[in-house]
Amino acid sequence: MNNGRFGIWLVGAWGGVATTVATGLAALQNGLSERVGLVSELPKYAQLDLADWKCFVLGGHEIRKTSYLAEARNLLDSSRVFSADLLAKAAPTLEAFDKNVRTGTLINVGSTIESFATPATLKTRGEPPRAALGRIAADLKEFRGTHNLDHVIVVNVASTEPPAEGDAAGLPWSELSRLLDQQDRSPVPASTLYAVAAMKSGCSYINFTPSVGSNLPALQELAAETGSLHMGRDGKTGETLLKSALAPMFAARNLQVKSWVGHNIFGNMDGKVLDDPVNKENKVRSKDRLLAEILGYKPQTLVTIEYIESMGDWKTAWDHIHFSGFLGTPMVMQFTWQGCDSLLAAPLVLDLVRFCEREHRRGKTGLMTHLCSFFKSPMGTDIHDFSRQVALLDAWAEEIAARP
């Protein structure tokens, strides 16, 4: 698939994950990188005729003012990722991507995120949701037009929002839609606004964060109405990925998990935002839920996420699993995971975009539950066991391969 033109539109366009998506895409387009870490490059998906990396162009919304190269150099300095040589070679591509970044919205993002906004962004404060929607849609339209794109996939990689006020979850689309005209105390968070704009603009929408996004009955309605593809929430990159690979082993062996404690430390901007307890709320809930669903009972669990500045982008998790074996014998498994957050997340974003484009190409709409292995809180399914989730993706791939 080498002759389509596709857009990746990142919400949180100059953040750590987005910067790594951009750098990685630039590297792939310029032949500067192996395919390690990219699920969609596994031989078993070769028959899917996925779009070539050269088919993609990147843009997005952002509330700060910086550039891909500046952010990538920050990551290099603080976290010893990338290489000076790679960045030098990727620079022209990254500078081209920079030109596609537009001003995002601050509606319901919370004061911590707002504190990072530039004056230009702050000027948009007070705009009614409907106006923000219009602005976003116009940006998407311009992006598609300028680059002559066949399809655009909007991916939310912005910092985690605080839980929204009010109960948008109980509303049908007709009512939620009406609330978009309300200037104050809108229950609709920014992530949902972007989802609405994407769907109304004929784009696909993927929510890589724990924010609400399209995870509302009203948005399901809208997706059906507009024929949009969407999926979420919260990219499964580290500790939770391990939980979803390990917990099924304890279950299959009837080893009783008595407690599962997980402590996470890291120092990137996401960490700073999560240091605000209201933003952290959404995240911890997302990391903790799957155990009971896999094990069939609820062990005592504890999950902390702490901002430790010196760690930079290196998220380190320590998990302590206390379990009972035969005759009640207490045993312990512990693991530590030292992963670079953005470098784990970015390839998954690229994979999701590619898989989504493929699904769009064959004319499908609605929730892409076969992508559940990528998410901590997958929409539309209760399956959290990683191997079962991967089996769903493989089945989807086989179905396509069988009927090309």
Query: Min. distance of Cβ 195 from a copy of itself in angstroms?
Result: 26
CA distances (Å), origin 19, targets 99, 277, 290 = 14, 26, 29
| Tokens linked to 361 | 């190409």
Separation between Cα atoms, residue 30 and residue 27, nearest integer Å: 5
User: Cβ closer to a copy of itself: 86 or 152?
Assistant: 86
Q: Scanning residues 195 to 254, which ones bind a copy of itself (CB under 8 A)?
A: 241-242, 245-246, 248-249, 252-254
Task: Figure out which of the listed residues 13, 176, 195, 346 binds a copy of itself, where binding follows CB under 8 A.
Answer: 346
Separation between Cα atoms, residue 182 and residue 180, nearest integer Å: 5
Task: Figure out which of the listed residues 10, 94, 273, 344 binds a copy of itself, where binding follows CB under 8 A.
Answer: 344
Distance from the Cα of residue 396 to its chain's centroid = 21
User: Cβ closer to a copy of itself: 115 or 304?
Assistant: 304
Choose one: 58-66, 165-173, 227-235, 382-390; the region binding a copy of itself (CB under 8 A). Answer: 382-390
With CB under 8 A as the rule, give the number of residues binding a copy of itself. 77
What are the backbone dihedrals phi and psi of residue 300, each rounded to the nearest 5 degrees, phi first?
Answer: -65, 130
92 belongs to the binding site for a copy of itself (CB under 8 A): no
Choose one: 63-71, 158-166, 221-229, 333-341; the region binding a copy of itself (CB under 8 A). Answer: 333-341
395 belongs to the binding site for a copy of itself (CB under 8 A): no
Query: Min. distance of Cβ 284 from a copy of itself in angstroms?
Result: 14
24 belongs to the binding site for a copy of itself (CB under 8 A): yes
Separation between Cα atoms, residue 347 and residue 28, nearest integer Å: 11
Query: Min. distance of Cβ 345 from a copy of itself in angstroms?
Result: 9
261 belongs to the binding site for a copy of itself (CB under 8 A): yes
Pair 328, 353: CB distance under 8 Å: no
Query: Min. distance of Cβ 3 from a copy of itself in angstroms?
Result: 26
User: Cβ closer to a copy of itself: 129 or 235?
Assistant: 235
335 belongs to the binding site for a copy of itself (CB under 8 A): yes
Separation between Cα atoms, residue 257 and residue 273, nearest integer Å: 32
User: Cβ closer to a copy of itself: 89 or 130?
Assistant: 89
User: Cβ closer to a copy of itself: 84 or 402?
Assistant: 84
178 belongs to the binding site for a copy of itself (CB under 8 A): no
Query: Min. distance of Cβ 246 from a copy of itself in angstroms?
Result: 6
Separation between Cα atoms, residue 298 and residue 259, nearest integer Å: 9
Task: For 78-100, give one letter per residue: b (16+ CB within 10 A) or e.
Answer: bbebbeeebbeebeebbeebbeb
Query: Min. distance of Cβ 400 from a copy of itself in angstroms?
Result: 18
Q: Which residues have C-beta within 8 Å of that of residue 300, sequence separation ≥ 6? A: 258, 259, 260
Query: Min. distance of Cβ 325 from a copy of itself in angstroms?
Result: 4
Q: Scanning residues 269 to 328, which ones bind a copy of itself (CB under 8 A)?
A: 299-300, 302, 304, 306, 308-311, 316, 318, 320, 322, 324-328
Query: Min. distance of Cβ 396 from a copy of itself in angstroms?
Result: 14
Task: Figure out which of the listed residues 19, 23, 112, 286 binds a copy of itself, where binding follows CB under 8 A.
Answer: 23
- Nearest CA to 232 out of 192, 181, 175, 266 is that of 192
Count the neighbouring beta carbons within 10 Å of the beta carbon of residue 335.
14
Query: Min. distance of Cβ 204 from a copy of itself in angstroms?
Result: 22
Q: Report the residue count for the chain.
A: 404
Q: Which residues have C-beta within 8 Å of that of residue 69, sequence separation ≥ 6? A: 87, 91, 94, 95, 98
Q: Scanning residues 32 to 91, which ones bind a copy of itself (CB under 8 A)?
A: 33-39, 41-42, 77, 80-86
Task: Figure out which of the listed residues 8, 11, 27, 149 binds a copy of itself, where binding follows CB under 8 A.
Answer: 27
Pair 154, 194: CB distance under 8 Å: yes
β-pairing verdict for 314-324 and 256-266: antiparallel
Provide the 3-class DSSP secondary structure of residue 172: coil
User: Cβ closer to a copy of itself: 148 or 254?
Assistant: 254
Query: Min. distance of Cβ 317 from a copy of itself in angstroms?
Result: 10
Count the neighbouring beta carbons within 10 Å of the beta carbon of residue 282.
21
